[in-house]
């Protein structure tokens, strides 16, 4: 794969994974079904390339091409309620102790909302850090980086733990380096000797012979 856009996307995912420091998990692809139970231990951030546009007004036919990349950053968080379980399960606990433990029971919706904002905050800190201006790529590789558009979804109505999802976007511009597709093999080039000049009959450039150029002279 030679697309710099894909390389930059993978680099952004790797950067988040490296700097997550256990605060959330990172995956660079989408999934079809996700177990809410697996999200209780750690929030999950899923990334994918949402779109990659080319601005034709700036990209000349033979000039440098740029991809305006839009990376989807999706948060998946699930949390159950929290309480002093030890007191509730302890046979020796008194009614008063159990009542106190129950009064401090939190709701899954509160815990999940808190966990979602913590994960969002951590991702923002990583992606908007001045040291990560180029996402770890060489200077000048990417430009106009912006992390924005956080949109929180609704709580689902069913299920035990609270589940929250939210989507945000990381946008940046990346310069492409078109290397030439290996599958697109050009035909042999034959040059008219009348245009080449005295002493040279024909020049053939055979790509199938690894760029070997044959010059036939008289």
Partner 1 sequence: MSLQTQAVKIAGIAHKLSGTTVFLIDPDGVKTEHDDCTFLSGRVTQSPDSGEEMVVFRPVATFPRSSLTRIPADGEKWALLAPLDPEIPDTLTTLSLDPSKAIEGGRSLGTIRLYLSEVKQS
Which residues make up the interface to partner 1 (CB under 8 A)?
A: 30-37, 40, 74, 76, 78-86, 88-89, 93-110, 153-154, 156, 158-163, 165, 167
Concatenating the DSSP letter of every residue in 119-141 gives HHHHHHHHHT-GGGTTTTSPTTS
Minimum separation from the CB atom of position 149 to partner 1 (A): 13
Q: State in angstroms the smallest separation of the CB of 117 from partner 1.
A: 17
Alpha helices in 128-211, H assignment, sequence order: 193-196
Of 147 and 162, CB closest to partner 1: 162
Beta-carbon count within 10 A of 149 CB: 13
CB of 177 to partner 1, least distance (A): 33
Nearer residue to partner 1 within complex by CB, 39 or 174:
39
Of 94 and 143, nearer to partner 1 (C-beta) is 94
Question: How far is Cα 111 from Cα 93, in angstroms, rounded to an integer?
Answer: 26
Which residue, 62 or 157, has its beta carbon nearer to partner 1? 157
- Which of residues 59 and 113 has its CB atom nearest to partner 1 in the complex? 113
CA atoms of 103 and 125, how far apart (whole Å): 35
CB of 99 to partner 1, least distance (A): 3
Distance CA 201, CA 84 (A): 92
Rounded Cα distance between 181 and 67, Å, is 18
The least distance separating partner 1 from the CB of residue 92, rounded to whole angstroms, comes to 12
């Amino acid at each position: 794969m030679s697309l710099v856009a894909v390389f930059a996307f993978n680099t952004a995912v790797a950067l988040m994974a490296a700097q997550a420091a256990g605060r959330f998990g990172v995956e660079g692809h989408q999934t079809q079904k996700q177990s809410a139970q697996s999200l209780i231990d750690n929030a999950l951030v899923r990334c994918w390339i949402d779109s990659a546009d080319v601005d034709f007004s700036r990209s000349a036919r033979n000039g440098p091409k740029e991809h305006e990349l839009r990376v989807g950053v999706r948060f998946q968080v699930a949390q159950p309620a929290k309480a002093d379980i030890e007191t509730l399960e302890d046979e020796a606990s008194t009614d008063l102790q159990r009542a106190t433990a129950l009064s401090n029971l939190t709701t899954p919706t509160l815990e999940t909302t808190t966990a979602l904002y913590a994960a969002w905050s951590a991702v923002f800190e990583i992606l908007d850090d001045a040291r990560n201006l180029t996402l770890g790529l060489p200077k000048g590789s990417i430009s106009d980086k912006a992390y924005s558009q956080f949109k929180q979804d609704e709580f689902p109505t069913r299920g035990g733990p609270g589940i929250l999802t939210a989507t945000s976007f990381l946008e940046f511009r990346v310069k492409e380096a078109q290397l030439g597709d290996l599958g697109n093999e050009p035909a042999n080039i034959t040059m008219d000797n009348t245009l080449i000049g005295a002493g040279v009959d024909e020049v053939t450039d055979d790509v199938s012979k690894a760029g070997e150029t044959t010059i036939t002279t008289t």
